[in-house]
Structure formats: structure tokens, C-alpha cells
Amino acid sequence: MLKGGLGSMMKKAQEMQENMQRIQEELGNKTVTGQAGAGAVEVVMNGHFGCERVIFSDELLSEDKEMIEALIAAAVSDAAKKAQAMSQKEMAAITGGMNLPPGFKMPF
């Protein structure tokens, strides 16, 4: 009896790993947009935290360098928070809410 239960558990763990890998691949194709300065700066980031695009308003160019740098940094941070939340939501759907550490890999 133990052997059958263990086999079933191993199969479920392997299915979970396959689903996690699929979700990780899909996250690379999904994007979020972070903003700062009431939309003066927007950063588009994918689910792998890759910055795909930086967009800023024409009015931003009249600001001083330090202000522009601060707004870009804030928009990147906003996008990263949104990408993290998206990743956690996607992974929670397959892990049943288990709090797995980032980069966790199943032993199969």
C-alpha cells in the first residue's frame, strides 16, 4: 500500500514541477507596466524581470537630470513589484498556496 501511495505522490510532484516550468516560461511572455510621476515615466517589464521598454512624456525632458533619474528608478521599482505579484499569483495557482522559496526546484 505504501508503494502505491508513494508512486502517486511522486507523480503529483512531477506534474507540479512540469506546471511550474510551464508557468515560468509563460511569465516571460507576460508584461506589467510600472509608472511614476503620474504617468510621466512608464516601464514595461516581463515576468522574468526583464525591462522591455521605457516610455516617458515629452514634458519630462524639461525636468532636471536628478528628477528624471528618480522617476525612472521609481517606475522600475513599481514594475518589479507588479512582476513579483504576477509571478506569485501564477505560481500560487499550481502550488495550492504553498509558500515555496524563489527558485525552488523539485528534486526530479
Task: Name the CA dihedral angle for 90, 48, 65, 61, rounded to a multiple of 10 degrees.
Answer: -70
pTM of the predicted structure, to 2 decimals: 0.74
Please tell me the predicted confidence (pLDDT) of residue 80: 97
Single-letter amino acid, residue 41 = V
Q: Say if CB 52 and CB 42 are below 8 A apart.
A: no
Binned at pLDDT 50, 70 and 90, residue 81 comes out as very high
Please tell me the predicted confidence (pLDDT) of residue 108: 37
Neighbouring-strand partners of residue 27: none
Instruction: Kindly report the length of the chain.
Output: 108
pLDDT at residue 99 tops 90: no
pLDDT at residue 63 tops 90: yes
Mean pLDDT of 29-57: 96
pLDDT at residue 52 tops 50: yes
Q: Say if CB 60 and CB 71 are below 8 A apart.
A: yes
Single-letter amino acid, residue 38 = A
Mean pLDDT of 52-68: 95
Q: Say if CB 80 and CB 45 are below 8 A apart.
A: yes
Structural domains of the chain in order of their starting residue, each with its CATH number: 27-94 (3.30.1310.10)
